[in-house]
Amino acid sequence: MSTFDFDLFVIGAGSGGVRAARMAAAQGVRVAIVEDRYMGGTCVNVGCVPKKLYVYASHYREQFEEARGFGWNTSEVPFDWEVLRENKKNEIKRLNGIYQTLLDNSGAQIIEGRGRVIDPNTVAVGDKQYSAERILIATGGWPSVPDVPGKEHVLTSNEIFDLDSFPQRVLIVGGGYIAVEFAGIFAGLGAKTTQLYRGDLFLRGFDQEVREFVAEEMIKKHVDLRFNLNVEKVDKLESGELSVTLTDGTTMLTDAVLYATGRHANTQGLGLEDAGVSLQDNGSVIVNDYFQTSVPSIYALGDVIDRVQLTPVALAEGMMLVKHLYGSEEEKSAVSYDLIPTAVFSQPNIGTVGLTEEQARDQYAEISVYSSSFRALKHTLSGMEERTLMKMIVDRSTDHVVGVHMVGSEAGEIIQGIAVALKAGATKATFDQTIGVHPTAAEEFVTMRTPTRTYPQ
């Protein structure tokens, strides 16, 4: 009989923590899970889900314009921020309830409050302490805002979904996928939108051709992109407006400033260092291939370990951890971080899997790049100037497709199927032998026959 209160104590009820807690409890493991904010973590509450709902909302304005070319005589349609905001809140409440029910049904004990690690086998929640054979840290990430004068006047992705009123002018600071997505959202909803980034071009780490293409398309959609520029300070005026001084000495007036300048591991106040858990300089938890920290009884996964900050990755890590701790020998294996597909719900969308052209040039002696840019069939009548980009990168020595990228409508949906093909080891010949679905944009991936460029040239 165990002398511990629980076999597994999970701190954080986000995607990874909930998945691990449920799977372990289903196997008869005595599980507790503690959460101090909301069920479902960042993704459900202030991340992927509400963001995607707002992306959907932002498309309608453009779709109303497109409809005229197809015979629908639409007049100017007003947008009601309050309706979107409240409907979003109701959906999130529904999802919170589902997470609560899933955990209840699994047999895991839910504890409300902030968990703090006291020692390798003890967690405190408020003034109560619980003992556990193993502790899992799954507290996710938190938005980072640099220490600029006036930072108290800016917003992060935690607050942006629930503004009291819709800002007619928005300044978005940052160059990652969150910044790019919110630029598209607010521009689509009708706000005068400016995106500021300190570097030469946003979406660092993505394929260069994709980055340049997306910038061109966003400008078409009335996003004012300003690169090599940053914020010096933010002042709030008596009118409620924000006066933002930029590093080039100019100022601009806006109604809201959103900082999307990255996220850091949510480890403050958890007591990890006092318990002997080693952290990176950025606060993320150091783990081995099986998510074990420097303290053998303490584990961590998801955004808090800062490997790949994606919800499906946290889910995979949670499942793999439970198999490693409580499964059979045959089930034990490390999570593969190769060929993880990802989407940026920018406007237009980005879908990508595998290597960028730049990475492929570094890793392979000879590659072929197939790239195609075109105006989708829909826009021959809609009158819109939006273009689609599709790109495939092939290792010539094996004919294996090592990277696929798309910018265009439903890119995220399309890249999921492509990811399965790459994971299965598809070659360029495999794509060439596949019959396309016509007329679709996706068929371009199986009809590109002539390389756009090859390396070495």
The residues annotated as belonging to the active site are 438
CB 130 within 8 A of CB 30: no
How would DSSP label each residue in 366-404? SEEEEEEEE--TTHHHH-----EEEEEEEETTT-BEEEE
Cα 65 from Cα 408, distance rounded (Å)? 18
Please state, in angstroms and as integers, the Cα–Cα distance from residue 157 to each residue in 47, 142, 148, 179, 432, following that order. Answer: 8, 9, 18, 9, 42
Number of H helices, E strands in the chain: 11, 22
Q: Which residue has the tokens 């959907």?
A: 56
CB 32 within 8 A of CB 9: yes
Q: Sheet containing 192-197: give its strands across.
A: 223-227, 192-197, 169-173, 256-259
First CA to last CA distance, the chain: 68
Classified as helix, coil or strand, 88 is helix
CB 33 within 8 A of CB 102: no
Cα 34 from Cα 42, distance rounded (Å)? 15
Going by the DSSP 8-state scheme, the letter that residue 273 receives in this structure is T
CB 137 within 8 A of CB 306: no
Helix (H) or strand (E) holding 242: strand 242-246
CB 411 within 8 A of CB 349: yes
Cα 77 from Cα 83, distance rounded (Å)? 14
Q: Which residue has the tokens 């942006």?
A: 160
Please state, in angstroms and as integers, the Cα–Cα distance from residue 39 to each residue in 22, 44, 105, 222, 322, following that order. Answer: 13, 8, 15, 36, 20
Strand-pair partners of 264: 142
Cα 42 from Cα 302, distance rounded (Å)? 11
Cα 244 from Cα 292, distance rounded (Å)? 45
Classified as helix, coil or strand, 9 is strand
